[in-house]
Amino acid sequence: MSNPISLKSAISRKILVINCGSSSLKFTLFDTDKDGFSANGQVDRIGTYKPMGFEYEGGGTKFEKDIEAGDHKSAFAAILNELTDSTHGVISNPNEISAVGHRVVHGGDIFYATAVLTDEVLAKIESVSGLAPLHNPVNIIGIKEAMAVFPKATHAAVFDTAFHHTMPSYAFLYGLPYEYYTEKKIRRYGFHGTSHRYVSLAAAEWAGKKPEELKIISCHLGNGGSVAAIDGGKSVDTSMGLTPAEGLIMGTRAGSIDPAILLFLMDSYKMSSADLNKLLNKQSGLLGLSGISNDMRDIEKAARQKDERALITYRTFGYSIKKYIGAYLAAMNGADIIIFTGGIGLWNDWARRKAVYQLENLGIILDEEKNKAANGVKTATDISTADSKIKILVVPTNEELMIASETLAKL
Contacts of 382 (CB under 8 A, 6+ apart): 206, 370, 391, 392, 393
Catalytic residue among 35, 66, 119, 160: 160
Do residues 160 and 104 make contact, with C-beta atoms less than 8 angstroms apart? yes
Read off the amino acid at residue 348.
N
Tell me whether residue 268 is exposed, middle or buried, using C-beta atoms within 10 angstroms of its C-beta: 0 to 12, 13 to 18, 19 or more.
Answer: exposed
Let me know: does 78 contact 67? Beta carbons within 8 Å: yes
- Is 109 one of the catalytic residues? no
Amino acid at 60: G
Measured distance CA(21)–CA(136) in Å, rounded: 9
Are 214 and 267 spatial neighbours (Cβ–Cβ below 8 Å)? Answer: no
Beta bridge partners of 44: 24, 53
CB-based contacts of 406, cutoff 8 Å, min separation 6: 101, 114, 156, 158, 194
Q: CA-based Rg of the chain, rounded to a whole angstrom?
A: 21
Q: Which residues of 172-207 are buried (b: 16+ CB within 10 A; e: fewer)?
A: beeeeeeeebeeeebbbbbbbbbbbbbbbbbbbbbb
Which residues, 6 or more positions from 4, have their beta carbon under 8 angstroms from its beta carbon?
198, 201, 202, 204, 205
Whole-Å CA distances, 296 to 225, 291, 318, 368: 12, 12, 12, 20
Distance in angstroms (rounded) separating the CA atoms of residues 153 and 95: 7
Rounded CA-CA distance 225/192 in Å is 8
The span from the CA of 27 to the CA of 116, in Å, is: 19
Start-to-end CA distance of the chain, whole Å, equals: 28
Is 72:141 a contact under the CB 8 Å cutoff?
yes
Residue 178 Cα to chain centre, angstroms: 30
Distance, CA of 150 to CA of 87 (rounded, Å): 21
Q: What is the 3-state secondary structure (H, E, C) of 230-274?
A: EECCEEEEECCCCCCCCCCCCCCCCCCCCCHHHHHHHHHHCCCHH
Catalytic residues: 160
